[in-house]
Amino acid sequence: MKITFEKLPRNLDEMKALPQAALDTPEGTAALTVAALCVWPEDHEACYAMLDFLRGPRPLSNMEKQFISDRFMDGKDYIPRSYFAGATPENNYTPAQPLTLEFTVNPAPMAEQGYCRLDVRSGGADAARQITLRNKPSTGEWFLWEQALLAGIRVPASQDPWA
């Protein structure tokens, strides 16, 4: 499942203008999650507002906001960019244009109905990372339930003393 963006949204209004903001597919919500995390280095509050929208009736707690902030420490703003096609340590995680994300359904069975776990590959990691989405049956919307996108990856060549 591929999702392509001509440009990334910079705030919640721009995100809501995208077709994926209907939240009618798990991969659309997952792609918007990556896009929201890309905003954090420029505007923390806009990132949190976007994630709150994607989480639906379950906004971020202060602890979750701190967790996200901690993952970006030491200039690791390249991590969410690493999920876009063409982004590798060698090119300092500069994605190809248009910005494309590819998701696959995680083969591990979910314990409960109404959830979907997707895998997405980072150009700087050996294993895929997971995003779990939850469906709200009354609306058909898919909301962000949890993500494991901010784990460490290989540093960009420009920051690697051994490159």
80-110 pLDDT per residue, tens: 999 999 999 999 999 999 999 999 988 776 6
> Residue 160: its pLDDT value, please?
79
- Tell me, yes or no, whether 158 lies in a domain: no
- Tell me, yes or no, whether 57 lies in a domain: yes
30 and 133 Cβ atoms separated by less than 8 Å: yes
Other Cβ atoms closer than 10 A to 70: 11
- Tell me, yes or no, whether 33 lies in a domain: yes
Helix (H) or strand (E) holding 129: strand 129-136
**DSSP letter, residue 140:** T
Task: State yes or no: pLDDT of 140 exceeds 80.
Answer: yes
- Tell me, yes or no, whether 55 lies in a domain: yes
Whether this model's pTM surpasses 0.75: yes
- Tell me, yes or no, whether 10 lies in a domain: yes
Backbone angles phi, psi at 151, to 5 degrees: -70, 155
> Containing domain of residue 118, as a range?
2-152
For 33-78, the pLDDT digits (tens) are 999 999 999 999 999 999 999 999 999 999 999 999 998 877 899 9
Per the structure, the count of domains in the chain is: 1
13 and 39 Cβ atoms separated by less than 8 Å: no
> Residue 111: its pLDDT value, please?
63
Other Cβ atoms closer than 10 A to 5: 20
